[in-house]
Chain A
Amino acid sequence: MPVLELQQVRKRFGQRWVLGGVDLVLPEGTATVLIGASGSGKSTLLRCVNLLETVDDGSILLDGGDITAVRADADAVRRRIGVVFQAYNLFPHLSVLDNVTLGPRRAQGVARGEAEGHARDLLSRFGLLEKAADYPDRLSGGQQQRVAIVRALATRPRLLLLDEVTSALDPELVGEVLSLVRDLRGEGMTMLIATHEMGFAREVADEVCFLDAGSVLERGTSQQVLADPQQPRTRQFLQRILTPGA
């Protein structure tokens, strides 16, 4: 059974379809990368999966359970999904350790000692242990985003959503964040990733989906979509993004 499955998901804002019937299947341990111009619906799709938006039609299944059902418990669903935002969204009033343990302790009822042990394990694995007592504004953008990823992992999610996690970073800090995501990919974390980093997409994606005006216009392995795109609009998009200024 796939970890995540989208069936004909539709979402509209006013008189415009932001998602016009999207199908998507994420088998366990795979990474799916969404590419497409700003406004193509990547972020809205991620927000729908996390139930931050209500879909207007279609279904989203998490481990086979319909999370778009009216009676679905949104909090319970969100406890099983980790999200990393473009702008980090760390809590400025909490230390790194408290940021990471907030979810497990308050939403999952894990005891403090156990939550902190797990948090320290994760932090040390990603070279952040010495920052545990620091507050977010003391960290660089790259460190903040890595902490945000650790925070998302701390709840042991079934699925990780990454929404353009490097877009707010200085170019020289992008590498440290992407290498972390690469590690997670190696460990078999199921991920749905929206990104503008084509090199990274090529490397981690089991499937690449090109979104255009709310529809998946082209999909396939990174080889197929990125190296040999069939649709003119995909080619156009890749051209624009690979040769900026052209």
Chain B
Amino acid sequence: MVAVDAWSPSPLQVERDRLRRRATLRSRLIAAVSTLAVGTLLVVAVTGSSGWPRVQAQFFDLATARDALPTVAHALLVNLEALLICGVLVPVFGMLIAIARTTQSPVTLPLRILAAAYTDLFRGTPLILVLLVIGFGVPGLRLPYVPTDPLFLGVVALTLTYTSYVAEVFRAGIEAVHPSQRAAARSLGLSYTQTLRFVVLPQAVRKVVSPLLNDLVSLQKDSGLISVIGAIDAVRQAQILTANLGNFTPYLVAGGLFVVMTIPLTRLTDYLAARDSRRRLAGGAL
């Protein structure tokens, strides 16, 4: 048989490859032109409106943006700090709750009920309410040794809420592992915990990586909500600057910084999701 390297395609195949390349080129061209058309239309519609000059001066003032950028960027460190702490705590607590909820022994029934009540409560409550209650309620209790720093309390509220989301994601992953996998592991003599640790959880986590990262992106921007309880983060800083300068541009600066901060993680999510679906469709053209 001809080696792959030494093989030259038949005229039929050459023609087929040519047609395929042309079809690809044409689709790309159509996509590019239509994207350009829609983009142009949007720009023209917005900048052509009668109120545009005033909006531009109020929201898109370059000089103000330049002045605001260092201050707002510095305040963004507060959001990053909140994010880093939550990013560690949320998956850990979420996993524990998920494990508690998926136990099967009658002994652990109270644990299951507690875990279910927790997720029901915090998943159903708007984050801003949790923030307000924790942020203003906890200091009001005057508990000894409990810090009243708004950043600390904000992190607590964010963790409480996001743990309940993430726990549900993990639970879905655990339940999506086929029961035959547990049967196989237990029949090897692995205990319940070992089965969970070595067989179920590794598969469960792989299944939920992209929804998990999705929650993390969401956490990143929701960290801006801690401004409502007085933490001087990027959003709060932008608010202060807006009040001082009488111009809304700092808000857009803060918004831009948040987007920039979430983009790497969003791309990572896309990449992982694509890799996952490629693996699932391995060797198929459907």
Q: Contact residues of A with B, CB < 8 Å? A: 8, 12, 15-17, 20-21, 51-54, 56-59, 68-71, 213-215
Contact = CB atoms under 8 A, between A and B. Distances in A.
Interface in B146-176: none
A59 B12 CA distance: 8
B13 interface: yes
Nearest to A14: B4
B134 to A, nearest CB: 43
Nearest to A66: B12
A71 B23 CA distance: 10
A70 B1 contact: no
B106 interface: no
Given A15-B4, A17-B4, A51 B285 contact: yes
B4 A57 contact: no
28 contacts: A8-B10, A12-B4, A15-B5, A17-B1, A17-B2, A17-B4, A20-B1, A20-B2, A51-B285, A52-B285, A52-B286, A53-B285, A54-B285, A56-B9, A56-B13, A57-B9, A57-B10, A57-B12, A57-B13, A58-B13, A59-B12, A68-B16, A69-B16, A70-B16, A70-B19, A70-B20, A71-B19, A215-B1
Given A52-B285, A215-B1, 11 more contacts: A12-B4, A15-B4, A15-B5, A17-B4, A20-B1, A52-B284, A53-B283, A57-B9, A57-B10, A57-B13, A59-B12
Nearest to A57: B13
B41 to A, nearest CB: 33
A20 B9 CA distance: 12
Contacts of A8: 10
The interface size bin for chain B is 10 to 19
Nearest to A44: B283
A21 B284 CA distance: 21
Interface in B1-47: 1-2, 4-5, 9-10, 12-13, 16, 19-20, 23
Contact of A58 (B10, B23, B283, B286): B10
Name which of B1, B5, B19 has the most chain A CB atoms within 10 A of its CB: B1
B57 to A, nearest CB: 55
Contacts of B9: 56-57
Contacts, number: 38
A215 B1 CA distance: 9
A20 B6 CA distance: 13
A17 B284 CA distance: 17
Contacts of A68: 16
Secondary structure type dominating chain B contacts: loop
B230 to A, nearest CB: 51
Contact of A16 (B4, B20, B283): B4
Contacts of A12: 4
Contacts of A52: 284-286
A56 B283 CA distance: 14
A46 to B, nearest CB: 13
A21 B13 CA distance: 13
Interface in B95-151: none
Contacts of B10: 8, 57-58
The 3 closest A-B pairs by CB, nearest first: A70-B19, A57-B13, A20-B1
B9 to A, nearest CB: 5
Contact of B1 (A15, A53, A56, A214): A214
A130 to B, nearest CB: 28
Contacts of A69: 16
A52 B23 CA distance: 20
A68 B9 CA distance: 15
Nearest to B23: A70
Contacts of B2: 17, 20
A120 to B, nearest CB: 30
Interface string B227-252: 00000000000000000000000000
Contacts of B1: 17, 20-21, 213-215
A8 B4 CA distance: 15
Contacts of A17: 1-2, 4
B54 to A, nearest CB: 54
Interface in B250-286: 283-286
A59 B10 CA distance: 11
Nearest to A69: B16
B282 to A, nearest CB: 11
Contact of B12 (A16, A21, A58, A214): A58
A90 B40 CA distance: 49
Contacts of A57: 9-10, 12-13
A182 to B, nearest CB: 31
A71 B16 CA distance: 10
Nearest to B284: A52
A62 B4 CA distance: 27
Nearest to A214: B1
Contacts of A56: 9, 13
Nearest to A21: B1
